[in-house]
Amino acid sequence: MSTPTAEMTGEKKPMDLLRFATAGSVDDGKSTLIGRLLYDSKSIFADQLEAVEATSSAKGHDYVDLSLLTDGLRSEREQGITIDVAYRYFATPNRKFIIADTPGHVQYTRNMVTGASTADLGLVLVDARHGLTEQSRRHAVLLSLLRVPHLVLCVNKMDLVDYSEEVYEKIHAEFTQFATKLNIPDLAVIPISALKGDNVVDRSESMPWYSGPTLMHHLEHVHVASDRDLVDVRFPVQYVVRPKSDEHHDYRGYAGQVAGGVLKPGDEVVVLPSGMTSKIQGIDLFDQEIDEAFPPMSVTIRLEDDVDVSRGDMIARVKNAPSPSQDIDAMVCWMTTTPLKPRQKLAIKHTTRTGRALVKDIQYRMDVNTLHRDQDTKELGLNEIGRVQLRTTVPLLCDPYSKNRTTGSFILIDEATGVTVGAGMING
C-alpha cells in the first residue's frame, strides 16, 4: 500500500522558501523591479500603494514609481540609489520569498557580500541600452565567489530599445561567454521591463520572439532543495536545553540548525571535538517529535548517552566528520576602513564556535572586475577581497565553502569594538 501524500490526507504542505539577492549598476532598475514583483503579486497594502502614488505625483512623475516601495532610507530616496541591504518578504500560492536588495556601487561590495551570502539565487540586472558593464561583471564574479547556485540575468528596460530581439541576443551571448570563466551551475537570461511589467509577472505581448518563462515563473519553479548538502551530516550545537521542570525533569537536548545531511533517530553520531560517540534518541521540532531533520531546519536533538556536549560543539556522522583545523586558508572580504594586515589578531566566529585568530599571511588581493590576483599586496582595504592564511586558538570544525556554505564560512570581529570587520570563505 502506498504512503498517503499531503494532497490525499488534506494536510497543508509546508511552503518552499527561496532567498534571492538582486544586484546591478546604479539606475539599472533593481528597486523598480522589486516594487513590480511586490505590486503585481498583490503583496503590498492599499495604503502603501496610495503613499507611493502620492509621492510619485509630488515628484512630477507621470507613472507610479514602484522603486519607492523598497528604497526605505531617506538618503537613498534623495540620491535615487540603494545603499543598505534591504530585506523584503512576500509570497505567492507556490512559494515564499526573501529578497535581499543589495547596492550596486563598488564602495558597497561588503553590503552585497552580506546580502548574497545566504541566497539561493542571484538576480543581476543590466540596462538593455548599455549592455554589460564592469559592475555587471563584478556582481557575477561576486555571486560566483559566494557560490550562489542559480543566477538570473534580467535584461531590463527593453521598452527603451523597442523590445529589440537583436539587442537581447547580443547581451545574452556576451554574458554567457563571460559566465564560462565563472562557477555558475545554472544560468537563465530573461528580457524584461520592470517599469511596464513585461515578463516580470505577466508574459509580454511586446516580445513574442521570447519563448522562455517570466521572471516570477522562474523564481517560483527553480529547484533549490538539491543545492543543499544532504550527505555530510553537520549539526553545530547552538544551545543545551535543560528545562529542569517537573514535566521535563530529565530532559537534555541540543538545539541548533542543521547545516548538512539528514539526521534520524537511531543514527550513530560523534560529538566533536571530544570524539565521544552516541546514537540519536529523538529529534524535537517545537513541541513534537519528528522522524528526520535536514537543512535548514532548526531542531533539538536528544542522544541516548549522557555525553558532554556544549555550545560550539558539532554533531556529525562517525565515519564522515570534518577534520578539526587551526590553520585556515580562506578568501576574505574586508569590511572596515582600517586595513587588514599580517600579524593582526582578531576574534573569529565559525558556526556556533568562537575563538581568536592571527593573520599569518595575505597571499593576494583579487580584482573582482578582472579576476587579476595582485600578489604584491601587503594589506586588504575596505571592500577588498583576498586570500588570507589564519591560525586560530581553537580548532574549527570546517568544510570547504564549495562543499558547505555554512561550515565553510566565518566572520572576523574586532575584539575592542565587537564590530564585524571581515567575512571569510574557506578554500578546499
Residues 101 and 30: beta-carbon distance below 8 Å: yes
Q: Is the pLDDT of residue 48 over 60?
A: yes
The DSSP line for 208-249 is TT--S--HHHHHHH---GGGS--SS-EEE--EEE---SSTTT
Q: What is the CATH number of domain 324-426?
A: 2.40.30.10
Average pLDDT of span 418-423: 92
Q: What is the pLDDT of residue 138?
A: 83
Q: What is the pLDDT of residue 286?
A: 85
Q: What is the pLDDT of residue 141?
A: 87
Class in CATH terms, 12-227: alpha beta
Say whether domain 234-317 belongs to CATH 3.40.50.920.
Answer: no
> Pick the residue with more confidence: 70 or 380?
380
From the CB of residue 144, how many other CB atoms can be counted at a distance below 10 Å?
18
From the CB of residue 197, how many other CB atoms can be counted at a distance below 10 Å?
18
Give the confidence band of 341 by pLDDT, cuts at 50, 70, 90: very high
Q: Is the pLDDT of residue 9 over 50?
A: no
What one-letter code names the amino acid at 123? L
Q: Is the pLDDT of residue 3 over 50?
A: no
Q: What is the pLDDT of residue 364?
A: 95
Percent of the chain with pLDDT over 90: 56
pTM above 0.85, yes or no: no
Task: Report the SS3 class of residue 66.
Answer: helix
Average pLDDT of span 1-18: 50
Q: Is the pLDDT of residue 274 over 70?
A: yes
Q: Is the pLDDT of residue 6 over 90?
A: no
Residues 206 and 169: beta-carbon distance below 8 Å: no
93-97, 173-177, 271-275 — which is least confidently predicted?
A: 93-97
Domains of the chain: which residue ranges?
12-227, 234-317, 324-426
| Per-residue pLDDT tens digits for 186-206 | 999 999 998 888 999 889 999
Percent of the chain with pLDDT over 70: 83
Q: Residue 205 class from Cβ within 10 Å (0-12 exposed, 13-18 middle, 19+ buried)?
A: exposed
Q: Which of 335, 330, 360, 342 is nearest to 419 (CA)?
A: 335
Average pLDDT of span 249-266: 92
Q: Is the pLDDT of residue 241 over 80?
A: yes
Task: Report the SS3 class of residue 275.
Answer: coil
Locate 334 and state its grid cell.
Answer: 574586508
Q: What distance lies between CA 285 and its chain's CA centroid?
A: 24
Please provide residue 44's backbone torsions phi and psi, each rounded to the nearest 5 degrees.
Answer: -125, 155
Is there a shared CATH topology between the 12-227 domain and the 234-317 domain? no
Q: What is the pLDDT of residue 198?
A: 92
